[in-house]
Each structure stands twice: as C-alpha cells, then as structure tokens.
Amino acid sequence: STAPLVQRDYRFERVWFWGCIQGVRGAYYIAQGLGPDRAAPRSRLYSLNCLDWSLLTPATEEMLALAEEVKGRFQGDPSFEYSLAEINAEAAARLVQSGKEPVIKEETRLIATIEEIDRAVGIVPRGAFVKTPLGSVHENRHFEGLSLVEAKKLSSYFHFTEPANLKNKTLLEKADLDPSIDFLNSLEHDIPQGSWSIQLEKGGSVVVLRSLLWLGLTFYHVPMTKQFGYVYFGTGEKNLDLPFML
C-alpha cells in the first residue's frame, strides 16, 4: 500500500486512494491526503507507477475554466501540452496578453479534473461529518452509519464540498434539519435528475451509488457501520450525453 509512505513523507493525518484516470498511453493513480479539518482544501498526489508520488498544486478557478475547454482523452503524460489556440482562441489570447504561453499542460488538466469530479460527485452519508460553530468540519465520532431505510434514499447523501447555496427548503422541511450536520447539499436536487443510480448489493448489505455524469465514480456505504467511501476509475471525461440518455 502506498498510503504509509505518502503519509510519512508528507505528514498527513490520513491518506486515501482516490482513483485512476486512464490516459491513452498511461494511467494517473491519484491519492488524497487529509489534515484534521476535513473542510480544508485537500492535498492531492499522483503517480504513474504507484511508487513515486508528486504533490499537485491546488486547483484555481482559472485552471478549471481552461480545462473545461479541453475535450477528448488524456494522454497519460503530465508534461503533454494542449494548444489553446486550436481549442479557444479567446482564452489563448488572454493568456498571451498576461505573458503566459497559450497552452494547457496535461498536469493542469489533471488537477482541474480531480477537483471537478470531487465538487460534482464526491459524496458522504448524512451525519458522517459535523460542522463546529467556528466553521471547521470534523468526522462525527457518533456516526454509526445510515439505517437501511435511510441508506436507500438519495437525500441521505451529501456533496462534500462548500455548498454554494443550500437549496431553498420550505419552513416545514427546515424543522427537521440539524445545522451541525445538514450544512451540505443532498443529491436529491442534482441536475439532471436521474444522474445517480442507487443499488443494494451483496444481499442488501452494501449500498452502491454510481454517477452517470462522471462514469467510473462509485460510492459505497455499509449501512449501520462507519464504512463508506468512493473511488473513480475512468477516462476523466464528463458524460456530456447524459441529458439525452435520460
């Protein structure tokens, strides 16, 4: 396992294997390092061979906007450069004006894609995390897993990102919300509707959610236990056909 090595080298509290983005000529293996405050930006690392790990710089909004322009498969080479002039002349011109080369390195696209996947489909069960009055987020020591009934509902799973705006809830609904755990958006409002498949597997002992927007993202939770997590194995491309498939 890579985790102990990475944990030791970078002094993380916990390291987990995030997944793999498969390129044409090679794959990127990705891990995330967590500190005590789970709401703080995560440290992300990648490896081409699962032995040598490199820390990725944090994603910026500019990176995300540029990476949106790039379509098609990853190459599997972090230093590969996509020419922006061919993709978006305006974006290329802006980079040239600010004294930068009109290219996107694949490593930048990798950083942006991991961030985008985490924002869009990185999820946790309701109650797994608590927010303190001071705003930091911690694992909820009292979380014992979702009940079987709750585990089958999309509303029991939250996006683990800063909620841009908690979707407007009626006063009646607000009555049973707990601000310390209901500080994230649930999947029931995801657009397009139907972008998640939810299934009970292994004789009903495991709940599995799969994203149809980011094919290759699988989340699991064992009801009545603290066990949950997600992993991504895919090409790093968003399923832009989803609205037409539903």
Q: What is the pLDDT of residues 226-246, one digit of tens each?
A: 999 999 999 999 998 877 776
Same domain, 17 and 113: yes
Q: Given 52, 86, 120, which residue is the final one in a domain?
A: 120
Same domain, 170 and 186: yes
Same domain, 99 and 184: no
Same domain, 134 and 79: no
Confidence of residue 101 (pLDDT cuts 50, 70, 90): confident
pLDDT 10s digits, 19-48: 999 999 999 999 998 877 776 778 999 999
Q: Given 86, 120, 154, which residue is the final one in a domain?
A: 120
86 or 107, which is more confident?
Answer: 107
Write the DSSP symbol of residue 78.
T
Write the DSSP symbol of residue 221.
E
Give the integer Cα–Cα distance in Å for 230 and 157: 12
Q: Hey, which residues does 58 pair with through a beta bridge?
A: none
Output the DSSP codes for 32-62.
EEE-S-TTSPPEEEEESSSSS-EEPPPP-HH
Same domain, 114 and 14: yes
Q: Can you give the residue range of the structural domain that contains 56? A: 2-120
Give the integer Cα–Cα distance in Å for 27 and 29: 6
Same domain, 90 and 144: no
Same domain, 90 and 183: no
Same domain, 6 and 47: yes
pTM of the predicted model as reported, rounded to 2 decimal places: 0.87
Same domain, 194 and 222: yes
3-state secondary structure of 63: helix
Contact 117, 64 (CB under 8 A): no
Give residue 167's pLDDT.
Answer: 58
Same domain, 240 and 130: yes
Q: Given 73, 103, 120, which residue is the final one in a domain?
A: 120
177-216 burial code (b ≥16 CB/10 A, e <16): eeeebbbbbbbeebeeeebbebeeeeeeebbebbbbbbbb
Give the integer Cα–Cα distance in Å for 246 and 229: 26
**Percent above pLDDT 90 for the chain:** 51
Total structural domains within the chain: 2
Same domain, 8 and 112: yes
Same domain, 133 and 96: no
Question: Considering only 56-60, 95-99, 204-208, which range has the smallest mean pLDDT?
Answer: 95-99
Write the DSSP symbol of residue 206.
E
